[in-house]
Structure 1
Amino acid sequence: MLFRSFQAVALTLLLLQHAGASEDSYRMPDYGDHAPPAARPPADVRALLAGSDDAPQRDAPLKLLLVAGVKDHGPGEHDYPAWQKVWARLLAKAPRTEVSTAWEFPLPEEADAADVMVFYQKGDWNDRRAALIDAFLARGGGLAIIHYAVNGNQAAPEFAKRIGLASETGKIGYRHGPLDIDFGPGAGHPIARNLNRVAWHDETYWRLSGDPRSINLLGTSIEEGESTPQFWTTQQGPGRVFVSVPGHYMWTFDDPAFRLLLMRGIAWAGGRNVDRFNDLVTLDARIGQ
Structure 2
Amino acid sequence: MKRSLSLALGALALAAVSPAAAQTAAKPAAKPALDVHGQPFPRIPGQNLDGLRVYIRAGLKTHQAGQHDYPQFLADFSKVLTQHGAVVDGSFHAPSAAELANTDVVVMYKGDAGFMTAAQREALQAFIKRGGGIVTIHDVLCGPDPAEFASYVGGGKKHGQVNYTLEAKVPYTIVDKANPIMQGMTEMTLNDEAFYLMTWSQAPKIHVLATTVIDNTPSAKGHAGEVVPQIWTYEHTVAGGKPARAFVWMQGHNYANISNPQIEGMLLRGISWAGKHPVNELVDYKQPAPEPRPNRQ
Q: TM-score normalised to the size of structure 2? A: 0.69
| Corresponding residue for residue 230 of structure 2 | 230
**For residues 130-149 of structure 1, what are the structure 2 equivalents within 5 Å?**
130-149=121-140
Q: Deviations over 1:70-111 (max 9, x none)?
A: 11211110010111011101110123x210112220111111
Aligned to 2:108: 119
- Asked whether 1:68 is paired with 2:73, we answer no
1:274 aligns to 2:297 (yes or no)? no
CA distance in 1, matches of 2:51, 2:186: 30
Name stretches of at least 5 consecutive residues in structure 1 with no aligned partner.
1-59, 281-289
Question: What are the Cα deviations for residues 45-86 of structure 1, in whole angstroms up to 9, with x where unaligned?
Answer: xxxxxxxxxxxxxxx721110010111211110010111011
CA contact (8 A) 2:56 2:107 kept: yes
How many residue pairs match? The answer is: 218
Q: Which of the numbers 144, 149, 161 marks the counterpart of 1:159?
A: 149
Q: 1:130 Cα deviation (Å)?
A: 2.7
Contact 1:117–1:143 (8 Å) recurs in 2: yes
**What is the aligned partner in structure 2 of residue 17 from structure 1?**
none
User: Does structure 1 residue 188 correspond to structure 2 residue 140?
Assistant: no
Tell me how far apart the structure 2 counterparts of residues 219 and 146 of structure 1 sit (CA, whole Å): 14
SS across alignment from 1:251: helix
What corresponds to 1:105 in structure 2?
94
Aligned partner of 1:33 in structure 2 is: none
Q: Identify the match of residue 84 of structure 2 among 74, 87, 94.
A: 94
Assess if the C-alpha contact under 8 Å between 1:174 and 1:203 holds in 2: yes
1:66 is aligned with what amino acid?
Answer: I
How far apart in 2 are the matches of 1:194 and 1:120?
23
Q: CA RMSD in A?
A: 1.8
Q: Is 2:72 the counterpart of 1:82? A: yes
1:279 and 1:254, CA in 2 relative to 1: closer, same or farther beyond 3 A? farther
- In the other structure, the counterpart of 2:44 is none
**Contact 1:137-1:236 at 8 Å conserved across structures:** no
Q: Deviations over 1:100-146 (max 9, x none)?
A: 11222011111111101001001223433331222111111110011
Q: Distance in 2 between matches of 1:179 and 1:233?
A: 19
Counterpart contact for 2:183–2:266, Cα < 8 Å = no
SS at match of 1:100: strand
Highest CA radius of gyration, 1 or 2?
2
User: Which of 266, 275, 279 is equivalent to 1:261?
Assistant: 266
Structure having the higher helix fraction is: 1
Q: Between the two proteins, what is the percent identity of the paired residues?
A: 28
Looking at structure 2, the residues matched to 90 and 277 of structure 1 have their Cα atoms a distance apart, in angstroms, of 10
- The residue type paired with residue 146 of structure 1 is I
Structure 1 contact 172–205 (Cα < 8 Å) conserved:
no
| Counterpart in the other structure of 1:30 | none
* Larger relative contact order (CA 8 Å, sep ≥ 6): 1
Rounded Cα–Cα distance in structure 2 between residues aligned with 1:172 and 1:189: 32
For the residues of structure 2 that align with 1:159 and 1:225, how far apart are their CA atoms? 26
Look up the SS of the partner of 1:180 in the other structure.
strand
Distance (whole Å) between structure 2 residues aligned to residue 93 and residue 278 of structure 1 = 10
Q: 3-state DSSP class of the match of 2:65?
A: coil
What SS does the corresponding residue of 1:160 show, helix, strand or coil?
A: helix
Unmatched 5+ stretches in structure 2: 1-49, 215-223, 238-242, 286-297
Amino acid at match of 2:108: F
Quickly say closer, same or farther: Cα 1:279–1:61, change in 2 above 3 A: closer
Aligned counterpart, 2:120: 129
Contact 1:172 1:208 in 2 (8 A): no
Q: Which range moves more in the overlay, 160-169 or 110-119? A: 160-169
Q: CA deviation at 1:148?
A: 1.2
Aligned AA (1:273): P
> CA distance change for structure 1 residues 198 and 277 in 2, over 3 Å: closer, same or farther?
farther
Paired AA for residue 234 in structure 1:
Y
